[in-house]
Amino acid sequence: MKKAHNKGENLCRILQIRVETVQKVQKLAASSSALRSLSNDDDEINENSHVEPTEKKLPQDVGQIRGSNASGVSESSKQLELPLQNMIAYSLTGNRMKYVGVRVCSNVNDRIHTSSIFARESSKTQREFAHLLQSCISCTPNIDFRSIQGQIVLSGLHADIFINNLLLNGYSKSGRLSYARVLFDMMSHKNLITWSSMISAYNHHGNGGEALVLFSCFWRCSPESANEFILASVLRACTQTKAIIQASQIHAFAIKTSYDYNIYVGTALMDVYSKNGDMEKAKLLFDELPVKNAFTWTTLITGYTLSGDCETSLLLFNLMKDTDFQADRYVLSSVMSACSVLGFLEGGKQTHAYVLRCGMDTDVSVINVLMDLYCKCHEVATARRIFNCVLNKNVISWTTLIAGYMQNGCDWDSLRLFSEMNKQGWNADGFTCTSILTSCGSLGALEQGKQVHCYAIKANLETDDFVKNGLIDMYAKCDALVDARNAFDCMAEHNVVSYNAMIEGHSRNYELVEAFSLFKRMRTRLLQPSLLTFVSLLGVSASLLAIDLSKQIHSLIVKFGISVDLYAGSSLVDVYSKCSCVDDARLVFEEMEERDVVVWNAMIYGYAQNSQSEMAALLFLKFLLEGMKPNNFTFVALVTSASNLASLVLGLQFHCQAMKMGFELEPYVSNALVDMYAKCGSIKEARRLFDAMMERDVVCWNAMICTYAQHGHAAEALEIFQKMKDVHVRPNYVTFVAVLSACSHAGLVDEGLKQFNSMKNEFGIEPGTDHYASVVTLFGRSGKLQEAEEFIAKMPIEPAAVVWRSFLGACRLTGNVDLGKYAAKMAISIEPKDSGSYVMLSNLFASKGMWADVEKVRRSMNANCVMKEPGHSWIEVKGDISVFNARDKAHKDVDMIYFMLEKLTEEMSDAGYAPDYYEDYIND
């Protein structure tokens, strides 16, 4: 590059000498002897001359352009109009131009002699200017083409079309588009190359609109017809501006003039159609082109990739490999992007091998796309190995791998790589910061997120909209809603993404009022909600089991004309299932045109939640018949359905199916199996499965502790809890609920209080409502009502209804009616629609034979419209599950069942036991 720059300087120096020679010819034209002397001097000048240029001055005898005749010019010289008589010299100062008339040659002989010398010099100067401009355009960076234009004007070549076209190209390549347009407008003569150069200049700088306007001027003013280069340039402008109507008009003109078969015009037409999604026309043009080049293949392959037809893109790439054309970086990037979209890892590996064979592995842009391919195919380790081998990394290389770690859930690896990037002195961009903020949000790493926030402020990235939205999302996911709101309020303009992040944050924290307040504000700002907006609102309505609200949100989705995709469909199935509207969930499921494994899992789990294990099993059978492949969550849903019915036979069948498909040792499946065996009473099988697990997370330990706690094996539960701490697995909120439950079942008051106090003192876990309720139950089952009452009075948080119900249950065990009535009153005041408090109070009255009070409770329930779900039980006999409700007579063997029930009641009475009927009374 330095050599080319020196070459450009030498050419400029030579041209300056040539121009000075021409000026000497003009100045000394009046003397023939002077002309001969000048000619001799000129022969001594060669291309290696290093003569310093003298100051450019106009000749002494130059007349003023604003007057009549110039002094010193005879009348006879006016009558002989030779080309050099009225030569125009330009004196350039900034953007202003001053015209000075030059009159030379005092007589005819001097004119002829001067003309021959100047013609020779002018011809040399033209060639040298052309050489200079071509060299500067191709090699020399940051050249000042204005100075070259000044030399061109002084040499008298300002009207040369060839030189001006080169100068137009130079201005365009150097980014001086305004100078190019000034020169274009000053040119008195323009040819097709001139128009094509100016249109191409606008295209090159992304100003397709001006290019179309200029083509319109050409169409009206130029006597010449557009050639293939102008048409190709205008079509590129149509691609930039998405002017499909204008492109169609140019296509019609190309057909009329047979330019549609030209490779440049045909490829440009393919590009404009493919970029506008009309791949049918693009493919037709491709097939009709008699000659194709690498760029033609690239345009079609890229078009199919961008339109989402990745299979056709890969097919065309295989056809291209059979030709003599070698794929360039654009084709390879498109093919690898297609493999990424399809998750086609094998095709990605084949493309990787092609990259190595072609020697393109040194092209960092190709390598970046290759890393992205492996990351999206979940081969992050391979992407890291490629990254380590890249010598010429750029910011995109770092960002690609950081985003790949984030997308694959390797969030700590993402943070470590970001730290390494900073240590090596790389400056992260907005996309890098957004990826890191997403990782921080997924980890709940608030401190690291704040550090990234500080980095964004230092790097002046805080104004980036993606970074702003990333900050809001990170703070919301870390439950730092105050910080999230501060980041939200600091934004000058809010968009749908920022509102969605805030709504999702409030929804995650069950803050329904704040979430809908933001939604209302969003609508007042005339922002169109997206599907993610409604999915976030559905999440909170599902958590609150608010079926009416969920239906309203569903109606809004329909009202706004938003098509339900796979994500929204699974959310709707989930919300209806959680609200016990499993038929509505199935209706949404059946109406979906496309269903992936997530949607199937949501529907199967919906049946499991509603104790419809047979329907879950039938749906799973349909799932397999449609060729779908289950994942670990599919078996979690199936095993859960067996757990809810305590059906050991059905659970064993699902366990065997999971073993066949290799999911038995998956953590989520193993935890579900442990829970299923525990609920079916097979504690030994649950422990065997627990011991066989290679890796145990906190959920697995919790499942085993809960298993022992539910069956009253407090010692074993505490033993498992101790082993959990010994292997350095940190207990969580659920762990202590299970431990306190185990102590409660065994009456271990002191041990239970010890574990309760260790929550905050040893592990920093703030006790929640469930823990306080467990301690109240712990006191109550030991008959310590006074201690339970004092414990409730000292609670640092307001006692929830479940705490008072726990106290009410303790009152029933001890038969304390007065405290029981007070506890029921408090529970009902907090949750007036919950039937549990009424039933427990009624049972307390019934246990004391207070039937009038039982009747009052029942009337109160009816008056307050409190509905109790009828109790039911079930039994499995030879794989057949029978479900019974209170006073149920729908079973086929109902007569035999009631006969056996009466017989058992008689035997119970003969043994001295009296059955209780009060629960049957309230449930009637």
In a domain, 253, yes or no: yes
pLDDT per position as a tens digit, 407-424: 888 889 999 999 999 888
C-alpha 251/C-alpha 246 separation (Å) is 9
Of 84-88, 558-562, 665-669, 755-759, which range is least confident?
Answer: 84-88
Rounded to an integer, the average pLDDT of 125-132 is 64
Do the beta carbons of residue 415 and residue 440 sit within 8 Å? yes
Residues 371 and 351 in one domain: yes
C-alpha 208/C-alpha 579 separation (Å) is 55
Specify the higher pLDDT residue, 919 or 84.
Answer: 919
Structure tokens at 553: 């949100």
Residues 143 and 58 in one domain: yes
pLDDT per position as a tens digit, 537-562: 887 777 777 788 888 888 888 887 77
Residues 399 and 459 in one domain: yes
Buried b (16+ CB within 10 A) or exposed e, 415-451: bebbeebeeeebebbbbbbbbbbbbbbebebbebbbb
Predicted model pTM: 0.58
Q: Which of 448, 471, 494 is the last residue of a domain?
A: 471
Structure tokens at 480: 């730092």
Structure tokens at 114: 């001067």
- Look-up: residue for tokens 């998750």? 343
What pLDDT is recorded for position 398?
92
C-alpha 446/C-alpha 256 separation (Å) is 66
pLDDT value at 40 more than 50: no
Of 45-59, 632-646, 676-690, 792-806, which range is least confident?
Answer: 45-59
pLDDT value at 584 more than 80: yes
Residues 168 and 197 in one domain: no
By CB neighbour count within 10 A (0-12 exposed, 13-18 middle, 19+ buried), where does 47 fall? exposed
Residues 421 and 383 in one domain: no
In a domain, 360, yes or no: yes
In a domain, 769, yes or no: no
pLDDT value at 437 more than 60: yes
Residues 154 and 255 in one domain: no
What pLDDT is recorded for position 500?
85
DSSP code at position 362: G
In a domain, 493, yes or no: no
What pLDDT is recorded for position 134?
64
Residues with Cβ within 8 Å of residue 228, at least 6 apart in sequence: 259, 262, 264, 265
Q: Which of 471, 492, 527 is the last residue of a domain?
A: 471
Residues 168 and 252 in one domain: no
Distances (CA, A) of 570 to 573, 575, 590: 5, 9, 12
pLDDT per position as a tens digit, 329-368: 888 888 888 888 888 888 888 888 888 888 888 888 889 9
In a domain, 10, yes or no: yes
Query: 701, 706, 713, 702: which is closest to 678 by C-alpha?
Result: 706
101 phi, psi to nearest 5 deg: -75, 135
In a domain, 640, yes or no: no
pLDDT per position as a tens digit, 727-750: 888 888 889 998 998 888 888 889
Residues 384 and 399 in one domain: no
286 phi, psi to nearest 5 deg: -60, -45
Residues 30 and 116 in one domain: yes
Q: Which of 471, 501, 526 is the last residue of a domain?
A: 471
Residues 271 and 341 in one domain: no
What pLDDT is recorded for position 384?
92
Domain that holds residue 244: 190-291
C-alpha 502/C-alpha 837 separation (Å) is 36
Residues 341 and 287 in one domain: no
In a domain, 764, yes or no: no
Which phi-psi region, left, alpha or beta, contains residue 886 (left: φ > 0; alpha: ψ -120 to 50)? beta
In a domain, 777, yes or no: no
Residues 240 and 265 in one domain: yes
Specify the higher pLDDT residue, 547 or 776.
Answer: 776
Query: 107, 121, 120: which is closest to 32 by C-alpha?
Result: 107
Percent share of the chain, pLDDT over 90: 5
What pLDDT is recorded for position 16?
54
Domain count of the chain? 5
pLDDT value at 215 more than 70: yes
Distances (CA, A) of 900 to 329, 598, 872, 915, 924: 81, 46, 18, 15, 21
